[in-house]
Amino acid sequence: MSDTGKRSPATSERGIEKEDVASVDATGRPIPLYNPDVDVSEVDEKKLLRKIDLALVPWLSLLYLLSFLDRTSVGNAKLYNLITDLHITDTQYLLALTVFFFSYAIFEVPSNIFLKRLRPSIWLSFLMFGWGIIMTLQGLVHNFGGLMGAPGLRWMLGMFEAGLFPGVNYYLSCWYKRSEFGLRAAIFFSAASVSGAFGGLLAAAIANMDGVGGKPAWAWIFSTKLTTMKRANTDKCLVLEGLATVVAGFLSFWIIQDFPDTAKFLTEAERTVVIRRLQSDAQFSAAGETLRWKYIWSAWMDWKTWIGMIIYMGCDGPLYAFSLFLPTIISQLGEHQSHVH
DSSP assignment string, 177-220: -HHHHHHHHHHHHTHHHHHHHHHHHHHHHHGGGTTGGG--HHHH
**List of residues 6+ apart from 102 with CB closer than 8 A:** 155, 158
pLDDT tens per residue, range 252-278: 999 999 999 889 999 999 999 999 898
What confidence score (pLDDT) does residue 209 get? 59
50 to each of 47, 176, 177, 180, 222, how far by Cα in Å? Answer: 5, 12, 14, 12, 36
Low-confidence ranges of the chain (pLDDT < 70): 1-31, 149-151, 196-242, 282-291, 334-341
How many Cβ atoms from other residues are within 10 Å of residue 167's Cβ?
21
Cβ burial, residue 286 (10 Å; 0-12/13-18/19+): buried
What pTM was computed for the model?
0.76
What confidence score (pLDDT) does residue 6 get? 39
**List of residues 6+ apart from 117 with CB closer than 8 A:** 291
**List of residues 6+ apart from 147 with CB closer than 8 A:** 86, 88, 96, 138, 141, 153, 154
pLDDT tens per residue, range 64-110: 988 888 777 777 777 777 788 788 888 888 888 888 889 999 999 89
